[in-house]
Structure 1
Amino acid sequence: MTYSTTLEAKADGTQAVIDVAQAAVAPQALEPGKVHVVALGRGEFRQIDLTGPEHTGKPPRKTGTTVVRDVDSFMAYFDKHGNDDSEVYADVERRTITAVLDAHTAKNARWGSHRLELRLRETSAWRAWLSMDGQLVPQAAFAEFVEDNLVDLVEPTAATMLELAESFEVTTSAEFQSSQRLDSGARKFSYVEEQTGKAGHKGDITIPATLTLALRPFEGSEPYKVIARFKYRLDKAKGELRLGFKIERPADTLTAAFEDIRTLIDSDVPMAVLNGAPATR
């Protein structure tokens, strides 16, 4: 019993000496950006982590997705933050091009959380023409639409198309061609009804079969030649002329514009642009 008590006394004496020694040490500032272990006395320690951005004044790594709208902006950001180990993906369905700036390397895993995405946005002119695609609207409404979008017309000229829209007239004629005696003794007549259109204040403007447009599908893209078939119909019941157009394969124009943008980026970045999308995080 006496022996045990003596050991405890020695232990307490040793700890007291340690505590006095620690108390005598001058306090020192802890360096930011490191993890420190501090002795609290009586054998207790505390870990202090000063690696967080609130201590270092900067984030530990680059994170987040930056969204841009044109190729020039994409390349400016990529040149600043990308490197030879970055990866670039082109998603044809979503019409987006994504760069994983901190992608895995062949030997090392990286975070893959710093990304750049080109999200193409259709121009207002493209949306305007697509909103009228396949519709037949009253003549006044069509003339107003043409007037608002004259800048996009290549052929016929803007002035010609506006005059056509405002002065277009349609006449209907019917021509009997043959008759046929039925079993009942009655006769059945067949005829062809023909609608003739003319335009111009003197009726001297040729009605075009197609319209040729110059449209930029996406913001920042080049203009593309777009063909639209001109259409008209006389609503005899209402005595109303309706005009419109049908754009030929607009999806093909969007696909071609996206492919040209992909090719442009592919020629500027140091790696091949992959067809697909990066792994989800």
Structure 2
Amino acid sequence: MDKQPQAVGQITADQLHITADTIDRITELAHAAVCTQKADGITFALVPEKYKREDLTDAIEKAQPAPNRKKGTVALTSIDSFLQYIADQNQAANAYIYADPEKQTLTAVFNENKENAIGWRDHRATFKAELSREFANWMHHNKQSKNQEDFAIFLEDNIADIVEPSGEVLLSVATSLQAKTEAAFSSAKRLDNGQVQFMYTENIDARAAGGSLEIPREFALGIRIFKNGDGYKVKARLKYRLHSQQLKFWYELDRPENVIETAFKESIEKAQSSGYTVLFGSP
């Protein structure tokens, strides 16, 4: 069968890679529009009764090999991936990066409103600095009072994070605390060497025996603050309470909020060195 000639301006289903039904619907709606009128910057189409307006923009765009423009949000989990992505977009002249230290987030808006340019602001990349598993654990147990045995178990389970004093020293402290759970503690005093000495008595072979236990007043963690991030030194103070001859222990991290702020500041500085303008706030 001979191929029918195609009228100038006529669209075929093969050309747009969409169904013939869609082409028929587009043609039907096009024929329905009798004329257009403009009033106060608004364009109206006058169509016969029983017809309704349909937005075909998405249907036509999805039938194309590629979208008309970039849009969407990409969530990155490392600062290096974030920097790589914004470098690939090459939109420093049209974008802002918003830094929010309180939420530890960076948000790049590539089609921004800058100077005389007007953008849709819907093409973005985000980076959220999430606490590492180990630092989140120390934060969770911060300032939580524990009995001797529970505190000793906690030290044993997390000894790899402690750098000062050495892990061997803290492991010895944990072992001693477990061994003296039945002892009756009577007093505590601070020593010049930076430790606390606890005096106790315990029954050994039906005899009362006295002794002392020394533990450090401070220790330090060597730990990543954020996932995929660098390690930091975080100081902690060991606290205790002696009540009814029993000891309770807890620790207090030294201003952990400042450590988090310092760690995230490095991410901000890396973003600033990327060539993009960094603003403090939320997009």
Instruction: Mark yes or no: TM-score above 0.5.
Output: yes
Letter in structure 2 aligned against 1:137: K
Q: Give yes or no for contact 1:82–1:102 (8 Å, CA) kept in 2.
A: no
> What is the deviation of 1:49?
6.2
- Whether 1:81 and 2:86 are equivalent positions in the alignment is no
Corresponding residue for residue 98 of structure 1: 107
Matches of 1:173 and 1:75, distance apart in 2: 56
Corresponding residue for residue 130 of structure 1: 139
Matches of 1:167 and 1:157, distance apart in 2: 16
Question: Which residue among 135, 140, 152 is the counterpart of 2:161?
Answer: 152
Question: Which residue among 233, 237, 245 is the counterpart of 1:229?
Answer: 237
> What is the deviation of 1:101?
1.4
Question: Which residue among 258, 261, 264 is the counterpart of 1:258?
Answer: 264
Q: Give yes or no for contact 1:198–1:207 (8 Å, CA) kept in 2.
A: no
What runs of 5+ residues in structure 2 fail to find an aligned partner?
18-22, 34-54, 189-195, 201-210
Matches within 5 A, 1:197-276: 197=198, 206-236=214-244, 239-267=245-273, 269-276=274-281
Matches of 1:93 and 1:224, distance apart in 2: 19
Matches of 1:113 and 1:82, distance apart in 2: 16
> What is the deviation of 1:235?
2.8
Paired-residue identity, %:
29
TM-score (normalizing by structure 1): 0.69
Q: Give yes or no for contact 2:160–2:167 (8 Å, CA) kept in 1.
A: yes
> What is the deviation of 1:25?
5.2
> What is the deviation of 1:107?
2.7
Question: Which residue among 161, 172, 181 is the counterpart of 2:186?
Answer: 172
What runs of 5+ residues in structure 1 fail to find an aligned partner?
1-23, 175-194
TM-score (normalizing by structure 2): 0.69
Matches of 2:100 and 2:83, distance apart in 1: 17
Report the more deviating stretch, 111-120 or 50-59: 50-59
Letter in structure 2 aligned against 1:243: F
Report Cα offsets for 1:72-113 as digits up to 9, x if no partner: 110121122241222111012221110001223433212110
Matches of 1:109 and 1:121, distance apart in 2: 33
> What is the deviation of 1:45?
3.1
- Whether 1:66 and 2:71 are equivalent positions in the alignment is no
Q: Give yes or no for contact 2:198–2:213 (8 Å, CA) kept in 1.
A: no
Computing the radius of gyration from Cα coordinates, the structure with the larger value is 1
Aligned partner of residue 121 in structure 1, secondary structure: coil
> Moved runs in structure 1, 4+ residues, more than 4 A?
24-29, 46-51, 203-206
Report Cα offsets for 1:104-136 as digits up to 9, x if no partner: 343321211000111111111111111121122
Q: Give yes or no for contact 1:211–1:229 (8 Å, CA) kept in 2.
A: yes
Instruction: Tell me how many residue pairs correspond in the alignment.
Output: 225
- Whether 1:45 and 2:3 are equivalent positions in the alignment is no
Report the more deviating stretch, 24-33 or 242-251: 24-33
Letter in structure 2 aligned against 1:230: L
Matches of 2:68 and 2:277, distance apart in 1: 29
Aligned partner of residue 94 in structure 1, secondary structure: coil
Matches of 1:161 and 1:141, distance apart in 2: 14
> What is the deviation of 1:263?
0.8
